[in-house]
Amino acid sequence: MDKTFGALKPHLDRIMALKAAMTLFEWDNETLAPPKAARLTSNVIGALSGEYFQAVDDEKVRELVKACQEDPGLSEAEKAQVRELSREQEKLACIPRDEYQAFARLTAESARIWQEAKEQDDFAQFAPTLEKVIDYQERFAAYRAKDGQKRYDVMLDDYEPGFTMELLDQFFAVIKQEVVPLLKAVVDSKVQIRDDFLAGDFSDAQQEKIGRFLAEYVGFDFSRGVMATSAHPFTTNLHNRDVRITTHYNDNLDSSLFSVIHETGHAVYELGIRDDLTQTLVGEGASMGMHEAQSRFFENIIGRNKSFWVPIYEKVQAAFPQTLTHIRLDQFVDAVNKVEPGLIRTEADELTYSLHVLIRYELEKELIEGQLKVSELAKAWADKYEAYLGIRPQSDREGVLQDIHWSQGSFGYFPSYALGSAFGAQLYAHMKKEMDVEGLLEEGRIDKIRAYLREHIHQYGKLKDSRKLLKDTTGEDFDPQYYVRYLREKFEELYHL
């Protein structure tokens, strides 16, 4: 270890330990903690996050970071850790502590207010709070903006370094131009796909059994991970020997099966990070988008591919005999790929998903850049759904109130979902040049696919950003055409266009 870095190391260990503690409390809150614990436990989390900020935003630590930056002897991994810490310090240093804490209190409150407004289907209840959240976010972004940087660009940088509004405008322009007409053609097509059998009264025990099987089949390692249930599925990790996924069981087999595959995609990423990077500031996925690239790659490109199901469909049939015995493999695969414009993003099919994200991108950009007022948001939301998806929400609950993200101040997060799908398609196009992906799937050799991703993406953690990972893997910068081409080929075939 470099000597200068050695002096910083104990501080990094403190910071990582405090982060891990907050992660564990978050996991515990979502999966296990008793209903009445929240208020008192939030005192603990508040105190830990105070400790964290103090550990990062410390004069001594700043000096050590500076010394590291001037020391040419650091290894690549050490440099990357210093870069991440410095980035975190810059961010915190720009924001007055009292405003930061006031915002933390506001978001603790705002999730509850959003939840209640959603339950009561009344956006007006939530609007004043959302205005306050946006106000803080705009202020923080203004504090942090460099050289005339736009506020929304500052926010985007938190989730997807390297992707500015300029780049995203191009990306979403392609989506709009290609996916909207493709969807129209699909909706107008005469092909009828049956998927009634995917809804039913499935036992939790059977869903859990097949969920565990699928997770392991895709690559989840139960000696280094845990699966639990929560209201909304998510993945979290303490380090590369402790990666956790959640799932939920419901009356929609599709949702239960594919959410496990999706979260396993996230988990496989975290499990694949190099041992010398885990438990450091660069020991996690490169970005939100690259994470979604892994989860959506496994969920959609792999998981909704017929070849994936060839070796295991009989097992799934056997788990749900009443439902699937008389459903052929190709009927099952068609059903899980059926396109149907809907109002809810988290229930969207592979084709319409990017349009849900497009709508949020356009709206939040306008909100942050001052072209749209909160009071106009619900109508703007409905108008865009009508324009892009051909359906109009009849309630706030199914419209502007459906996602938690904005209540938490997470502006700039949504684009990552669509970027992830596009990254995945670009990786897939390149992967197919190097290996017979469908042949491997039919032989049950998902390990080969995981090994490819591990070699090119997973192992590096945050050593490279998403554009660099794409470049090094595929030889090209990010190119949304791969995604559009993938969607077109797949759905033109499915809907005989």
Residues that bind a second copy (CB under 8 A): 13-14, 16-18, 20-21, 24-25, 28, 32-37, 39-41, 43-44, 47-48, 50-51, 222-226, 228, 238-242, 278-279
Task: Provide the angle, in degrees to the nearest 10, between the axes of the packed helices 3-31 and 76-94.
Answer: 60
- Nearest residue (CB) to a second copy, 19 versus 490: 19
199 DSSP β-pair partners: 252
CB 11, min distance to a second copy, A: 10
* Residue type (1 letter), 139: R
Residue with tokens 């949020």: 360
- Nearest residue (CB) to a second copy, 47 versus 344: 47
CB 302, min distance to a second copy, A: 24
Q: Do residues 268 and 458 lie in contact, with contact meaning Cβ atoms separated by under 8 Å?
A: yes
- Nearest residue (CB) to a second copy, 35 versus 475: 35
Task: Compute the chain's Rg from CA coordinates.
Answer: 23
**Which residues 6+ apart lie within 8 Å of 423 measured at CB?**
289, 290, 292, 293, 466, 470, 478
36: left (phi over 0), alpha (psi -120 to 50) or beta: alpha
d(CA 343, CA 473): 36
Helix ranges (H only) for 145-283 are 151-159, 165-188, 204-218, 253-271
- Nearest residue (CB) to a second copy, 48 versus 329: 48
Active site residue 263: yes
Of 84, 160, 178, 263, the catalytic one is 263
* Sheet containing 235-239, strands listed edge to edge, beginning at the edge strand earlier in sequence: 225-229, 242-247, 235-239
Q: Do residues 144 and 94 lie in contact, with contact meaning Cβ atoms separated by under 8 Å?
A: yes
CB 310, min distance to a second copy, A: 30
CB 131, min distance to a second copy, A: 32
CB 56, min distance to a second copy, A: 14
Closest CA to 264 of 224, 309, 324: 224
- Nearest residue (CB) to a second copy, 48 versus 391: 48
CB 30, min distance to a second copy, A: 13
**Which residues 6+ apart lie within 8 Å of 388 measured at CB?**
176, 180, 355, 358, 359
- Nearest residue (CB) to a second copy, 267 versus 419: 267
Give me the active site residues, please: 263
